[in-house]
Amino acid sequence: MFCDDCKQNPATVHLTQMLNGKKIDMHLCPECAAKKGLMLFTNDKQFSIPNFLGSFLGSEFNLKDMQTMANPKTCNNCGMSFADIRQTGKLGCSECYEAFDSELEPTLRRIHGNSKHLGKIPLRGGERVFLKKEMDELKLELQKAIREESYEQAAEIRDKIKELEKVINEEGSR
């Protein structure tokens, strides 16, 4: 089978994508795949976990473009730039999440399906986590009701929040 792009070299890179419910197959030679930015690791770039994670944050072509920017954005805490994060696949510190929020958001959504942690709740002690999550949702509803000037509904939600706070405090004292 020959490359779908150049139609000269043998296709050794096979890519299958789902786009709007339709399956798209591409068969490319390594050169054409590299031109399209589809090659994660070439002969000069060995496989490693940092390289693999860094590939999720953008291709090498985009990384070089970012490095040429005059004033790259850096984390105030550790001094790491987003180009460094793309290259290593690792964040420098916990504050990098906030410093590069807009850059990391699309990648986290693509990898995890969401940018907010929605992990499992432990069996033991999980009731408290569930109640806190419910209280956070009620607080958002309360803000919405106040914005819409639905004060009767806001008072009901406020009462529910107070009840939940009592239950959470009782569980915390056990």
Distance of CA 60 to the CA centre of its chain: 19
pLDDT (tens digit per residue) in 11-62? 888 878 776 778 888 888 888 877 776 555 454 555 555 555 555 555 443 4
- Residues 112, 168, single domain; the answer is no
pLDDT (tens digit per residue) in 133-154? 889 999 999 999 999 999 999 9
Residue predicted with more confidence, 164 or 22: 164
- Residues 90, 138, single domain; the answer is no
- Residues 26, 52, single domain; the answer is no
- Residues 24, 86, single domain; the answer is no
DSSP 59: -
pLDDT at position 29 is 85
Instruction: Count CA atoms closer than 13 A to 40's CA, side-chain side.
Output: 13
Taking Cα atoms as reference points, which of 19, 53, 60, 15 lies closest to residue 33? 15
- Residues 97, 35, single domain; the answer is no
- Residues 24, 52, single domain; the answer is no
- Residues 35, 60, single domain; the answer is no
Q: How many domains does the chain have?
A: 3
pTM of the model: 0.35
- Residues 140, 77, single domain; the answer is no
Which residue in this structure is represented by tokens 């105030």? Answer: 76
- Residues 49, 114, single domain; the answer is yes
- Residues 18, 82, single domain; the answer is no
Of 75, 94, 118, the one marking the end of a domain is 118
- Residues 62, 84, single domain; the answer is yes
Helix/strand/coil percentages in the chain, nearest 5? 50, 10, 40
- Residues 113, 166, single domain; the answer is no
Percentage with pLDDT > 70 across the chain: 69
Which residue in this structure is represented by tokens 């990098």? Answer: 96
- Residue range(s) defining the domain that contains residue 26: 1-39
DSSP 71: S
